[in-house]
Homo-oligomer: A and B are copies of this chain.
Amino acid sequence: MTIRSEGVAIRVDDAGLPGTLISPAPLMPGFLFFQGWNSTQAQYVPRAREIAALGCLCLTFEPRGVAEDDPKSDVVTREENLRDLLAAYDLLASRPGVDPHAIALVGSSYGAYLAAIATSLRPVRWLGLRVPALYKDEDWDVPKARLDRKVLHAYRNRTIRPEENRALRACAAFHGDVLLVQSEHDHTIPPPVIANYRNAFGAAHSITYRLIEGADHALSEERWQRSYTSILVNWAREMVLGARESGTAAEAQVDATGSPRRRAPARA
Q: CB within 8 A of A24: which of B8, B19, B52?
A: B52
Q: Cβ of B245 and Cβ of A21 under 8 Å apart?
A: no
CB of A142, distance to nearest CB on chain B (Å): 18
Q: Count A interface residues, CB 8 Å.
A: 46
- With contacts A10-B84, A91-B10 known, is A17 near B63, CB below 8 A? yes
For the complex, give the distance between the alpha carbons of A175 and B236 in Å: 32
Q: Cβ of A22 and Cβ of B62 under 8 Å apart?
A: no
Q: Cβ of B22 and Cβ of A48 under 8 Å apart?
A: yes
For the complex, give the distance between the alpha carbons of A12 and B80 in Å: 9
> Which single residue of chain B is at the shortest CB-CB distance from A95?
B21
Q: Which of these binds chain B: A53-61, A123-131, A178-186, A187-195?
A: A53-61
Q: Cβ of B12 and Cβ of A84 under 8 Å apart?
A: yes
Q: Cβ of B87 and Cβ of A24 under 8 Å apart?
A: no
Chain B residues near A28 (CB-CB < 8 A): 24, 55
> Which single residue of chain B is at the shortest CB-CB distance from A233?
B241
Binding site for B on A (CB under 8 A): 3, 5, 8, 10-13, 15, 17-24, 28, 41, 45, 48-50, 52-64, 80, 83-84, 87-88, 91-92, 95, 241, 244-245
